[in-house]
Chain A
């Protein structure tokens, strides 16, 4: 169908110019391009016209024949190379011309997307202004280095659109910003960074209820200075991505409109436990105040409601006032940010309103296993106390309950409170931090309430890893250990202990060292004697007999173990630290028919979505 239309257009065109074309030949030609060589129809039409034009010695007309749709406006995102198009869009940026043959160039945008454009000097086109909307009729789209752009030439008509026919800009929530867009946003400047470069007037963080984003104001934008803690509407900012981080750029075409606090958009109240980075309205109680730690910080503390708690901070800026402990407040425009995995809430001057009633608050006690960086309430007992490794540590160790265990530390200060082993404590509003992927809870500043007479079971820190045993390392099988009490190091072939030297009265042991691999992660694994016995059926005696009755000695046991477990699927139970696994209990995985049925369903299921 389309091919016929192309043929019609071409033959009409050349017939009009006094050059009739053999219809059959033309159709065959088009067919060859499109069907046989999969050339897109538009490209085929262009090539064929070019051929005929050369054949008839015609000038390639500037008002090309594929102008068929040139009257109807086409969304920018649908423009393809080698098309004559009419678009309606906004000039979002103008780029200084580097060549006398170019009058103007820049980027034009409509609701579907953006595109580079060039206005040739020869076009004698009216000068377009940044930020205004235009209808550009009969421009040519072409492609260079894979990028399609729009060329305005002498056959193109440019008309400015009347302001009332221009679509209203839509505010994009910050969490929905994608790179390479020209958008409008509304939010608060929550942070201003120190200036870094003469080409940048300002940079910082911009936040709304949905999230936060970095912003940059180019010096060339000649924009008014943005003030921290103020709300703005920014029309026509460009979003960008660098190293996976999104940002918005304020340039000379951006319209900046300050928004007063009264005009601020209404934000829904967010429970403290559900806060995410951005600007939020929260109501809660100041449950703890920390000692002041620096000149820049007026106050730090913990803010809580029934759903959770968050650390808050008030900077020492003009008009800043401290909050009162145990008082309820509504905070309109709290700026929530994430620092080292934990949320923190910045309270700006004038945003906190005391609430009169004192509502009761039931701290949200969570299982240890669910604790993450931030402020938590736990009910735990002291499982183990560590020897202090630092002068500054008052007490440290391991806390635990049914769901798991967590490290804790109490630093020395005059309020430090010592935990008693096996006593159950309610710990309220303690802060959890993450170091090297390991969580630790700091008890300074938290409220500790012993619950005498209560008992809780602590879950043993056993974990299960299923995977394929992909490599058996040397030092596996039957090994000799140093007999010196408290040493137990593995001896070399010559019965040499790295600490206690030659030890002829060694002790035999069985173990497996190697790698257990679940397809996602590989565990540096040690399986203790019990585990080796379960897997191989060997025990210390039979393994020793095997070694003594074979010329290969200890290596026999190694090969025997290797033959039995290498490449096999194992289930190992024990302790996991990072990628290390120490297993005490192991078995071979057997075929799981239930899993087969489940996977069949899963393989089937998704294909209909």
Chain B
């Protein structure tokens, strides 16, 4: 496949819907193909590669970096945990948007996930925001439904899928065990 990648029409990577509890456990990352521009992915524990995420929740903390370059770090809470999100000068749109959002507020974020190693050796997943928008609670609730549905799809997916098999090997955690997080998220919606 890689040798004809130049001829393939550009296709944007879809933004995966993933709950914080699952994203924070992802640590396996890889690059498809060998050249510099080939996309990098992280493998979600429910067995799907992911190069972009669409996440939502409550912005609970916003930190602007002290240094010369403007850099924001924010924490966004969904019903299952916390997303760590950042935006720097390479994400001008997100930077601009964050500057006018105060905590707490409901937000949706489109961005690229990355795995970083903390000084104590733990893996941290953080999302570099491409855009962040303040929204109504109803949008976050729609996102919870959407994410619940797509997470269940991943849990129930055919195990012949290579990403699914790889995840089973890397994470050593039964896919079924993620159902409880989906239930938790759905139960948090107050009608």
Interface residues of A (CB under 8 A from B): 468, 470-471, 515, 517-522, 524, 563, 566-569, 579, 589-593, 595-596, 599-600, 602-604, 606-607
Tell whether, in the assembled complex, residue B15 and residue A517 are in contact, meaning their CB atoms are under 8 Å apart: yes
Known: A567-B135, A569-B142, A600-B183. 8 other contacts (CB 8 A): A522-B13, A567-B133, A568-B135, A569-B143, A589-B142, A595-B145, A603-B179, A604-B179
Tell whether, in the assembled complex, residue B155 and residue A522 are in contact, meaning their CB atoms are under 8 Å apart: no
What is the CA–CA distance of A602 and B149 in the complex, to the nearest angstrom? 9
Chain B residues with Cβ under 8 A from A520's Cβ? 14, 150
Q: Please give me the 7 A-B residue pairs with the lowest Cβ-Cβ distance, nearest first.
A: A567-B108, A567-B133, A522-B12, A603-B182, A522-B14, A603-B183, A519-B150
Tell whether, in the assembled complex, residue A607 and residue B131 are in contact, meaning their CB atoms are under 8 Å apart: no
> Could you show 17 A-B contacts with beta carbons less than 8 Å apart?
A468-B108, A470-B54, A515-B12, A519-B14, A519-B150, A567-B110, A567-B139, A579-B11, A590-B138, A591-B142, A592-B142, A596-B189, A596-B191, A603-B182, A603-B183, A606-B152, A606-B179
B129 to chain A, nearest CB (A): 11
Known: A567-B108, A568-B135. A592 touches B145 (CB 8 A): yes
Tell whether, in the assembled complex, residue A519 and residue B179 are in contact, meaning their CB atoms are under 8 Å apart: no
Number of residues from B at the complex interface, CB < 8 A:
39
Tell whether, in the assembled complex, residue A471 and residue B110 are in contact, meaning their CB atoms are under 8 Å apart: yes
Chain B residues with Cβ under 8 A from A524's Cβ? 12
Interface residues of B (CB under 8 A from A): 11-17, 54, 56, 108-110, 130-133, 135, 138-139, 141-143, 145-146, 148-150, 152, 155-156, 176, 179-180, 182-183, 186-187, 189, 191
Main DSSP-derived SS at the A contact region? mixed
Tell whether, in the assembled complex, residue B150 and residue A599 are in contact, meaning their CB atoms are under 8 Å apart: no
A600 to chain B, nearest CB (A): 5
A578 to chain B, nearest CB (A): 8
Chain B residues with Cβ under 8 A from A592's Cβ? 142, 145
What is the CA–CA distance of A602 and B191 in the complex, to the nearest angstrom? 19
A572 to chain B, nearest CB (A): 15
Tell whether, in the assembled complex, residue A599 and residue B14 are in contact, meaning their CB atoms are under 8 Å apart: no
What is the CA–CA distance of A566 and B11 in the complex, to the nearest angstrom? 20
B148 in complex: contacting residue of A518, A569, A603, CB < 8 Å:
A603
Identify the closest chain B residue to A607 (Cβ).
B179
Tell whether, in the assembled complex, residue B54 and residue A519 are in contact, meaning their CB atoms are under 8 Å apart: yes
Tell whether, in the assembled complex, residue A566 and residue B138 are in contact, meaning their CB atoms are under 8 Å apart: no
Chain B residues with Cβ under 8 A from A468's Cβ? 15, 54, 108, 143, 146
B150 to chain A, nearest CB (A): 5
Identify the closest chain B residue to A566 (Cβ).
B133
B113 to chain A, nearest CB (A): 14
A570 to chain B, nearest CB (A): 10
Chain A residues with Cβ under 8 A from B138's Cβ? 590-591
What is the CA–CA distance of A566 and B180 in the complex, to the nearest angstrom? 31
What is the CA–CA distance of A520 and B149 in the complex, to the nearest angstrom? 12
Identify the closest chain A residue to B11 (Cβ).
A579
Known: A569-B139, A599-B149. A606 touches B133 (CB 8 A): no
Tell whether, in the assembled complex, residue B139 and residue A568 are in contact, meaning their CB atoms are under 8 Å apart: yes
What is the CA–CA distance of A579 and B14 in the complex, to the nearest angstrom? 11
A563 to chain B, nearest CB (A): 8
A211 to chain B, nearest CB (A): 16
Identify the closest chain B residue to A244 (Cβ).
B162
Known: A519-B14, A520-B14, A522-B11. A603 touches B145 (CB 8 A): no
A435 to chain B, nearest CB (A): 16
Identify the closest chain A residue to B136 (Cβ).
A568
Most buried by B among A517, A567, A596: A567
Chain B residues with Cβ under 8 A from A515's Cβ? 12
